[in-house]
Structure 1
Amino acid sequence: MTRHAFVATTLAMLLSGSAFAQDIVVSPEQETVIREYVTKHKVAPADVTGVEIAVGATLPESVELHAIEEADVKYRYVVVDGKTVLVEPETRKIVHIM
């Protein structure tokens, strides 16, 4: 294998792995439970000035994450501009926007 082919293959593997790692799936049933929970348990919208709200973005420590008690998910949530944003608590990365 040439050096160019090796680099291209390695890069393709890394990129596909990154895409796969961020492809978080929340089942439709979980999404329904989460929507109902968020509707019932009103929280103040998060102040995320200067942060792009997109899957993979990291929220600062100043943003309070809220637990979802009634859904079987490990994620926490915040509300931004009327959208529920699911966040991985350990990394504070956005994993799903509803």
Structure 2
Amino acid sequence: MIPASWYLILSAVLFSLGVIGFLIKRSLITVFMSIELMLNAVNLSFVTFAHQWHSVKGQIFVFFVMMVAAAEAAVGLAIIIAIFRARATLNVDQVDLMKL
């Protein structure tokens, strides 16, 4: 049996990697993937606590977070494609939608 603390440590490491990727990387795709990594790290901790406390509430919450993440992925990728078509770059520093 794997202790719950290992799952929480893994969740913290994944969330930290997502934050580092969000803060350091300059590509919109990498930033987008970092946000998804952070969402999955939080989902892992929700499932860990739900299993530890023998409750279904955490798993239900994870289901809703996954639905929101799927919608965010569809809309986010559409926005990224539109930005790339308009600006021909995905660099966060060079994407300035208020300027023509």
TM-score over 0.5 for the pair? no
Q: TM-score range by the shorter chain?
A: under 0.3
Q: TM-score of the superposition, structure 1-length normalised?
A: 0.27
Q: TM-score of the superposition, structure 2-length normalised?
A: 0.26
Judging by fraction of residues, say which structure has more helix.
Answer: 2
Judging by fraction of residues, say which structure has more strand.
Answer: 1
